[in-house]
Structure 1
Amino acid sequence: MNKEYAVGLDIGGTHITAAIIDITAMKVIDSSLHKESFDSNMPVEEVMTIWEKAIRISIKNSKVVNTTGLAVCMPGPFDYTNGVCWIKDQSKYEHFYGLNVRDLFQDKLNLSNDFPILFENDAVCFGKGEVFKDTDNLSKKIMAITLGTGLGACFIDKGTSISTGDLVPKDGEIYDLPYKEGIAEDYVSVRGLIAGYFALSGKKLNNGLELYNLAKAEDKLAIEVFEKMGEDLAEIVIPWLEKFSADSFIIGGKIANASEFFLPFFNKKIKDAGSNVTVSISTDNEIAALLGATSMLYKA
């Protein structure tokens, strides 16, 4: 079988990771992995120059001559079909609002109009990537979430993302589900953790890493905040694990690194609810996102 290769991109608010993926075997070429940090609120041309640099370095390091597509894992709100960015008032990509990112890539990389440039939601990419990392998951129903600045989710049935119908929430999203005095993301996210710690201690933290370090140093209030988040997460997802009849629940994102503090409390809640779903923590979010993005170009 002839091998085909594609460029996979994992783009966040402060970084871009590029890699070349063998889309027949769905494997990342390790030597091609390249990451660049940047401020996404810079002018569009400056951001695109950094993206181009990451792509060209990745291709050069891979020693691959021809690529057959570009697959992009991108945060929302975003029109993934047409490639238009609708991110607004999120302290990132403030100059990209309303722009066609597909056109920007074509112009910057001198690509033809028929060169495939595909976009997908970052949480969906993560979930799909986890499926391709473990081919046993191709026969299962998976619910995957990303815990970080936001609360991302996806529902995957035998490798296909499901975002409509009665078995999943609207658009396959859980971040905006009504919960307590607000929405789910108010409680299960970095800002939720920081708010929780402030409510208990009166101390304002700058980021999630500070809270994690406090918990590692056995700060009882920091540990309590993570434990409470685990319980909140369980309450939010239990109804959807049941409706979707999920076989597996996979947790990714930066906050997943603190699973030692919240996972036991999450597991207890779902066990008490009678759920038999298999729960796991992703071992490599970034590889999963890259594989998930390029799965749109997968050559079976």
Structure 2
Amino acid sequence: MNRYAIVFDVGGTSIKAAVVREDGETVPDTVETFPSCGKEGKETLLAHFYGLIAGRVALLDKLSGGAPFEVIGVGYAFPSPFDYENGICYIRGQDKYDALYGTNLREAMKERIAADAEVGEKLSAQATIVFDNDAAMFAAGQLAFGHAKRYRRSICITIGTGTGSSFIDENGIVKGRELWNDPFRDGIADDYISKRGMLRVAAAYGLGADGDVKAIADAARTGDTKAADAFASFGRLFGELLAPYIREFRPEAIIVGGNIAKSHELFIPSAKAEIVVCGVPPQEVPTFETVEDTSGSAFAGALSLLKAER
């Protein structure tokens, strides 16, 4: 019997949904993006979240052509603040999901699954439902199915609206170890190694007024020297940030995901050079691996967390 996980990457404006096979591969025809409805009331939001689960089950039923299958659980990459272990949302004052403050989403979804015979036939009320942040899900996917499998120690970094991170050692993902809020220059890491950090660098070169990082990357690839210099400067900041963690943690690899990772060739070389400038011997500079399908890795990570809970 085929076994699957239903997975969601929850954002403030949209939710990306997918189904993942037991081997970590995303089922292509199941990937869809839905509005988050993040400003709606509690009951509307809970009905929306459950509707997305039921919709994935119905889609699997259709794609299977009547062949039996089992859904082993549901995994959510969910923004913080959130009690990931207990499944309780504590988001408030972020213009999203305020109505879910204090709500146990795991229990709310289990109640609805138990009350729905059609869904319960494929996904029982005892099925596991797990939550974690997107960076941790990304790292779990890399450890179970991706680049991190090949290394004893690595640091996974996602660069998007913020700086997501996870440290992986011989025992797996190091709990409670992140760097987004660590002091860096005149602020914290999140201020610099993120979309807004890249746009701040670009502004110094007279670029990025429209807030489009991709446009700057495209310009750099077609010979715009200012755009290329902006990305190189961003890379130097990235290298400066990483250097002390490399000296202390001694990772064999830095695994980079997130939207800005799609422009890796524009900033990783200068990051590596800056790591050496900051005192790391060249032979100790880790290998850099990039992952352009960050959501796919997060989906695979949700599957690995579900398997660990079984």
**Structure 1 residues 46, 141: closer, same or farther in 2, change over 3 A?**
same
Q: Distance in 2 between matches of 1:245 and 1:206?
A: 35
Describe the shift of the 1:285–1:202 C-alpha distance in structure 2 as closer, same or farther (beyond 3 A). closer
Distance 1:51-1:131 versus aligned 2 partners, 3 A rule = same
Aligned twin of 2:262: 257
1:197 is paired with a residue whose SS is: helix
RMSD across aligned positions (CA): 2.8
8 A Cα contact 2:235 2:270, kept in partner: yes
Unpaired runs of 5+ residues, structure 1, are 164-170
> What does residue 285 of structure 2 align with?
276
CA distance in 2, matches of 1:268, 1:191: 23
Q: Deviations over 1:58-117 (max 9, x none)?
A: 333333643122121112221101112223344433333332222332344446663321
**Which amino acid is 1:56 matched to?**
A
Specify which of 191, 207, 210 is matched with residue 196 of structure 2.
191
Residue among 140, 158, 173 paired with 1:161: 173
Contact 2:261 2:292 in 1 (8 A): no
Select which of 59, 71, 83 maps to 1:61: 59
Which range moves more in the overlay, 220-229 or 40-49? 40-49
**Aligned residue number for residue 38 of structure 2:** 40
Question: Structure 2: any 5+ residue segments left out of the alignment?
Answer: 116-123
Using structure 1 for the length normalisation, give the TM-score.
0.84
| Shift of residue 219, structure 1, vs aligned partner | 4.2
Which amino acid letter does the alignment assign opposite residue 136 of structure 2? Answer: V
Q: 2:82, 2:89 within 8 Å by CA — same for their partners in 1?
A: yes
Larger mean CA deviation between 59-68 and 247-256 belongs to: 59-68
Contact conserved, 2:217 with 2:266, CA < 8 A, in 1?
no
- Change in CA separation of 1:202 and 1:143 when aligned onto 2, cut-off 3 Å: closer
Residue in 2 aligned with 1:101? 105
State the match for 1:12 in structure 2: 11
Structure 2 SS opposite 1:13 = coil
Superposition map of 1:1-300 within 5 A: 4-23=3-22, 25-62=23-60, 63=64, 65-110=69-114, 114-134=126-146, 137=149, 140-158=152-170, 160-163=172-175, 171-201=176-206, 204-216=209-221, 218-272=223-277, 273-274=280-281, 275-298=284-307
Post-superposition offset of 1:154: 0.2
SS at match of 1:88: coil
TM-score, L = length of structure 2 = 0.81
